[in-house]
Structures are given as C-alpha cells and as structure tokens.
Structure 1
Amino acid sequence: MSVPALPGPFWLVGCGNMAGAMLERWLATGIERARITVIRPSGAPVADGVRVVTDYPEDEVPALVMLGTKPRKIDAVAPLLAPILDEETILISILAGIELSSLRARFPTPRTIVKAMPNTPAKLGKGVTNLFTDSEDGHAIALVEGLMAALGTVERFDDEALFQIAGILSGAGPAFLFRFIDALAAGGETLGLSKDQAGRLAKAMVEGAAALAASEAESPATLADRVASPGGTTRAGLNVLDEDGALEALIRRTLEAGRRRSLEMAEEARGTSS
C-alpha cells in the first residue's frame, strides 16, 4: 500500500525504535523523502534523501509533526516546538501515557492533534496502529489514517480510556509475544533441542499460527481445540495452560501492569502541564 501525498513538510521529532520502524515502512511505500525532516540530538543519518538536523528548522513551518521522543522528554520538547506550529499543523503523538488534554496544554495552536499507538511490526507493513483524536477536521484525520494504513491495520477510538487499553494490548503486545517465543524455544532446548533449532522452530511456528488465526473465521480457542486430540500430546500441554485459568490470569496481570503504568504516566504529565 502506498502512502498519501504529504501536503507540506513532515517533521519527526525523535527517531528511536518505534518512529524509526514507521519511517522505514513509509520510505519503502514511497513517501516523499524530500519533505521529511528528522530532528534528533545525535544528528545521526536515517536514510538517503532524508534531512536530519539537531535543531528545529527555521526555514519552514511543518504541515505535520510526529512526536517520537521518550514521553518523559515532552517538557523539554514543547517549549521550543510549540511556538513554531500553526493552526493548520497536524500534530501526531506516539508518546505512551500522555493524554490529549496534556498535549493540548503544551501545544495550544494546532487544530488537529492525533494520538497514535503503533507497534514495531509496522516496519513490515504488519503493524497495528490505534488512533484517538478530538479533531473534527475530516481531511486531516483522513491524511493521518492514510499514513498509518501504510503500516498495517488501523483502529480508530472515540474513547481515550479504551484507546489506552488497546495500546497496551497491541502496542506492547509484540514484546509479550517475543517473550513467549523465547520461552517456547528455551523449553525446547531444555528437552534436548539445540538452541538455534529450538529458536527457528518457535519463530516459524508462531508466524504460521498467527497467519492461520488471522485467516480463519473460527476463534483462536476453537483453532486450539482443533489441534488438540482427546488424550493426545497437545491436550496434555493445554491442560497445563488452562489449569485454574493460569495463562489468562497471567495475561490479565501483564496487561493490568501496563495499564497502571500508563495511568501513572498520564498523571505525571498532567502535573507538569498545570
């Protein structure tokens, strides 16, 4: 899928792992490199044809800005960036835990501010990006949705609390899955497989199983039962995961821990913006 045409300069403020993955995909799908500027203290290059600077350009006003720094750096970024933006600038934030009200307190001029929570599979065009905004500018929202659609699936939310929960599930979810893949491989190694072989098998299995789950109409629970014959090896393993709801309880605690931290970050941001 190609990206929509940019209406003007597009600034990426920070270009770490997540913003870098997004940029890599956008470049692969034909975004206009000459309109992109990456602002990062290191000045380290990102790709051919993409301008990288250590301070905000003085020769233009951006049409779009994406905040991709660490959330705790927002109060270092805002005083310098906010005066540059005008009413038509579309501000996109991928900063976890920073509420829309906190963004508007720091960036009062832009009419459209969009919160986006992507995940790292965006690099392959297989990502999930959740969106939340209070803007009523249909053209601006369509532009942001078009950019994010080039990264994979886009899910729009009208409720910021639900957006936050979805961000823990799909935004942080890849890290949880990577841990599970490692655990599967480590288990196979413990039972006698070589480390490399166990790792290859675990990754290939997860890739295939995820593709099957995405393509089938049946629920993942039904697919699991279809694999497990009564009295067989798969059922014996599932019995361990299912005992007293062990796996579901673990995942609930995992997601809840992320949600609590997100709420703490939001509270911290509200405190510093008041």
Structure 2
Amino acid sequence: MLERFDRPLFLVGCGNMAGSMLSRWLESGLAPAHVTVLRPSGKPVGNGVRVISSFPDRLPEEALVVLGMKPQQLAAVAPDLKARWREDLILVSLLAGVSVGRLAEAVAPREAVVRVMPNTPVALGKGVCALYADPALDAARREAVQALMVPLGLAEWIAGEEQFNLVTALTGCGPAFLFRFIDALARGARDLGLEEGQALRFATAMVEGASALAAQADTDPGTLADRVASKGGMTREGLDVMDKDRRLDALIRDTLSAARDRGEELERLSAG
C-alpha cells in the first residue's frame, strides 16, 4: 500500500504507539530508507531504518515530522524543531491532549499541523485513526497524511478539535472496554458451568466473528441484533435483560462520558 509513498518520515521519538504504527507502515511497503527516527537512546527500531540520537542540521525535504514521544516531552524538543522548521514540512502529532494551537506556538504554523489519535489495533491494520487539522491545511498535505494512515485501519477526519476527547474515549479507551466485556461474557459462562478456559476461547472467538460481520453488514448493529433474536427465543430472552430500562445504553454512555471528562481534565492540567 505504501510502496509508492515517497515523502520522508522523520519520527521524533518512537514510543509504543509510534513504534506500532511504524511497524505496520514497514509491513505495508514503506521503504525503510525513507524513515529516520530520533531517539536519545539510539536504540534500533527496524531493519534499514536510520536512528539518530540528536537533531540533524536540516530535516529531510518535504518530510512528515511525526511527534511520537510522550506529551510532556514536547517542551524539550520544540525549540530544536522550531529552529529547523520550513514551509515544505508537515507536522503530524500523536500527542494526546496537545492542541493545534499549542503545537503552532511551540513548533510550526497552524496550516502545517495535523493531529492524529490512533488506537492500539493499528499494529494489525485494524485500528482507528481520527485526524484533525486547521481548515487552512491544503489538500495535498491532507492527502499525504491520509495516505500514510490508511494502512493502519479506518482513518477519518473529525469536524472539530473539541471532539478529540470523545473520540479517544470511544476508540482509544474502547478496546479496554471491549476486553472487559469479553471477560464478563467468559466469567458469566464459567459461573454458569462452562470450563473457564473454554469459556474464554468461545467468548473471544464469538466477538471476533460478530465484529467481522458487523463491519461487513449493510445495516446497523442494532438491526443485526434484532435479526438474530427470533420472537420467544433464547436470544430475545437475553436481549430483554440487556434492554430493560435501556440500562446497557446508560452504562456505556456513562463510561464514555467519564473517560471523555477525564481527558478534558488532563488537557486543562497540561495546558496550565
């Protein structure tokens, strides 16, 4: 997918998320020779990828500069990066809670900045990447960033930067919420008499298959659930428990709300 992607990548830091993304990009055909990773330790990150421990005098021409370190490290790298910034570069930030405005103050003009919020399944090409940029970002730069994100999974632009914490609650925190649901299914079956290991295998495989069906279906998941649930049958009996007083909807809404609100709180703390 990325065999013809010819813009250089310059990664500032290569933490868990950035490392997962880089691994997937290389698997998708990105030429290692197009990648440079800046990390103080100098630790290798992949065959053929150049790793440096300090900023070069000049960044690669037309590079996508990816901020892949921890958000609290921005202050340490921003002066060196800002001093080397040029109009031909694009800044792609993975830093949670760091707004386009803050990035513009610290590093690059607003019209050169793209924020990306990925989640952990990007390593398998099954992730979600929410993207946001100032309306002034030109189409060519949008297309370059979009092309880089596509091999990671679903990549979509969001309408407003204020949506990032909600998107993060849904897609970033969401895998943990789903893992908890799988665990609850397995534990419920175990408590009702199924062997523990088998209950977990069945629950995990069922969720994988059902998710694949939902992704390929021509209708919404709620309708799919009703199609499975025949009147008076086992599925309908179970759904009636989940649907009573819309308690599952309320639980999920409260879960997302709590995660979103915490994200907003952390954002305020980091800005202050």
- Give the alignment's TM-score, normalised by structure 1: 0.89
Aligned to 2:172: 171
Q: Please give the secondary structure, in 2, of the residue aligned with 1:150.
A: helix
* Separation (CA, whole Å) in 2 of partners of 1:80 and 1:189: 56
Deviation at 1:233, TM superposition (A): 2.6
Q: Please give the secondary structure, in 1, of the residue aligned with 2:132.
A: strand
1:114 counterpart = 2:148: no
Aligned to 1:24: 23
* Identity over aligned pairs, percent: 50
- What is the letter of the counterpart of residue 31 of structure 2? E
1:235 counterpart = 2:236: yes
Please list the CA deviations of residues 146-175 of structure 1 after superposition, one character each: whole Å capped at 9, or x if unmatched. Answer: 001121222112311234422321232222
Tell me how many residue pairs correspond in the alignment: 270
- What is the letter of the counterpart of residue 171 of structure 1? G
Please list the CA deviations of residues 151-201 of structure 1 after superposition, one character each: whole Å capped at 9, or x if unmatched. Answer: 122211231123442232123222221221222222222233333322221
* Separation (CA, whole Å) in 2 of partners of 1:44 and 1:189: 44
- What is the letter of the counterpart of residue 73 of structure 2? K
RMSD: 2.1
The 5-angstrom pairing of residues 64-103 of structure 1 reads 64-103=64-103
- What is the letter of the counterpart of residue 152 of structure 1? G
Aligned to 2:52: 53
Aligned to 1:12: 11
Cα 1:98–1:132 shift into 2, 3 Å? same
Q: Which runs of 5+ in 1 are unaligned?
A: none
Q: Please give the secondary structure, in 1, of the residue aligned with 2:162.
A: helix
Cα 1:96–1:28 shift into 2, 3 Å? same
Q: Please give the secondary structure, in 2, of the residue aligned with 1:192.
A: coil
Please list the CA deviations of residues 199-237 of structure 1 after superposition, one character each: whole Å capped at 9, or x if unmatched. Answer: 221221111101111111222111111222333332232
Aligned to 1:126: 126
Aligned to 1:39: 38
Aligned to 1:217: 218
- What is the letter of the counterpart of residue 113 of structure 2? I
Cα 1:6–1:269 shift into 2, 3 Å? farther
Q: Please give the secondary structure, in 2, of the residue aligned with 1:207.
A: helix
Runs (4+) of structure 1 moved beyond 4 Å?
Answer: none
Deviation at 1:14, TM superposition (A): 2.3
Q: Please give the secondary structure, in 2, of the residue aligned with 1:69.
A: coil
* Separation (CA, whole Å) in 2 of partners of 1:194 and 1:45: 44
- What is the letter of the counterpart of residue 112 of structure 1? A
* Separation (CA, whole Å) in 2 of partners of 1:13 and 1:30: 21
* Separation (CA, whole Å) in 1 of partners of 2:191 and 2:85: 56
Cα 1:206–1:260 shift into 2, 3 Å? same
Contact 2:113 2:137 in 1 (8 A): no
* Separation (CA, whole Å) in 1 of partners of 2:160 and 2:57: 37
Deviation at 1:19, TM superposition (A): 1.3
Q: Which runs of 5+ in 2 are unaligned?
A: none
Contact 1:116 1:131 in 2 (8 A): yes
Deviation at 1:109, TM superposition (A): 4.8
Q: Please give the secondary structure, in 2, of the residue aligned with 1:37.
A: strand
Contact 1:4 1:146 in 2 (8 A): no
Moved more, 249-258 or 72-81: 72-81
Aligned to 1:262: 263
